[in-house]
Structure 1
Amino acid sequence: MFNSIHHVAIICSDYEKSKHFYTAILGFTVIAENYREARQSYKLDLKLPDGGQLELFSFPNPPKRPSSPEALGLRHLAFDVASLEETCDYLLSKGVAVEAIRIDEFTGRKFTFFKDPDGLPLELYQQVTL
């Protein structure tokens, strides 16, 4: 019945800053960008390498996230990467703070966290230990 996740939607506080982060730093490709006058809102559709999508929205005065990452609702968004160390080094070179690499106690896989410009927790997860 269900095949995969089609997209994840993110609301940002500073559209241009978040657009830069997700395209120029994380390297996601723009599929479409639309300004919705009635909502005073941008909607940016981004393509992930596996065909999935991120939708980036801007709204005037969105409420703050209650806490990070244990607020009720979506806890974090995880990206599968080939090399955790290389990805961390790349993010650090772009000025993105990255937590120390950890090992999942149940799977034995490497993972770590970083945040988008609004503090949304993003995870890097290495499926295959190299």
Structure 2
Amino acid sequence: MNGTDRTGEEHRPADEVVVALSGGAKEDAREVFGVLRTAYGCDRAADDVPQEVAGDRPTVWIATFDVSDVRAKPRPARLTAPVAATLQGGYAAVESLRASLASAFAVRVVGTASGDQEEELQLRLESRP
């Protein structure tokens, strides 16, 4: 993202949410990012999808979503296993993104950290029963 949105207005970093996914297969990460790309603009191209990384270290996939670039409401999606998601950004932006995730998955808040202008929300995402 280059600091301005498509309408020419000044882009506000408070509208950006950094999403980090871990604890799942690359297919599940693709599914979660696909759901979020349906809802919002993203800093990654559509063909930039999560890949497996060789080695025994945990893999974390990261993308930034612009909640001011609203697109469509996501539909329910399926995961093969639970996925851990960490959302970081302004309070309103994080809540908007969490609500979009909740329209597609069962979402459980497992941790929070609050700051002056931003918050971090740790979630567990699962397929709905």
* Range into which the TM-score falls when normalised by the shorter chain: 0.3 to 0.5
Task: Please identify which structure carries the higher helix content.
Answer: 2
Structure 1 length-normalised TM: 0.35
Q: Greater relative contact order (Cα 8 A, min sep 6): structure 1 or 2?
A: 2
